[in-house]
Amino acid sequence: MIETRMEEMSKHLKFIVFLGMYLPSLAAGQPTIPRHDTADVYIKERQFKLSGVSLGSSIRSAERVFGKPDSVASAEGVYADTGRTYYFEGVEVCVDGNQVWTIRCKNPKHRTANGIRVGASIARVFQTYGVTSKQPADKGYRVSYIVWPPSGAYLAFDIIDGKVAQIVLDGEP
C-alpha cells in the first residue's frame, strides 16, 4: 500500500514538474517539449520489454515473437566465444549462450510494454516514460531510461526528426 501511494506521488510530482516546464512555452504560443537535464529517470523492470521479450529471455522465446531469423552471426568483442547476433525483420537480438542481452528494433510492428513503437513522437515517449535528457546520436539524439531496481539495464529511444527511429534494450540480463 505504501509503495502504491509512493508511485502515485511520484507520478503527480513528475506531472507537476512537466507542467512547470511546459506551461511557459504554451502561454507564449510556442508549445514545445521542454529540455530537461536529468538523466536518471527510472522505469520499472516490468516495463522493460519489447513485444514481451526482455533481457534474460531465451533466444527461443525471441524467435516465437520475432519469427525465424533472416541470418545469424558470431558476436564480436567480449562475447565472441559464446555470443551470436540474430537478425530478424527490423530487429537485432544479441545473445550470450542462450540468453538475450541486447535488443535493437527498427520495426514499427513491435512495441514496448507501454505501447511505444518506432514512429511514435518524442512527446509520446516523454508522456509515457517521463522527460529525460537528450544525448547526441547519429542523425539525431537518444533518450534513455534506467531500469529500477538498478541492474545496469536501460531502455533507449533513438530520435530522428522528432520520431522514434530505433528502440534499444541493453545491459546485463
Q: How far apart are CA 66 and CA 93, in angstroms?
A: 10
Asked whether 164 and 116 are in contact (CB, 8 A), the reply is yes
pLDDT values of the chain reduced to their tens digit, one per residue, 173 residues: 555 444 554 444 444 444 444 444 444 444 443 333 344 688 888 888 999 999 999 999 999 999 999 999 987 766 667 799 999 999 999 999 889 999 999 999 999 999 999 999 999 999 999 998 899 988 899 999 998 877 889 999 999 999 999 999 998 65
Instruction: Give whole-number Cα distances, 54 to 2, 42, 73, 94, 137, in Å.
Output: 28, 16, 20, 12, 24
Asked whether 167 and 116 are in contact (CB, 8 A), the reply is yes
Asked whether 108 and 117 are in contact (CB, 8 A), the reply is yes
User: Model pTM?
Assistant: 0.74
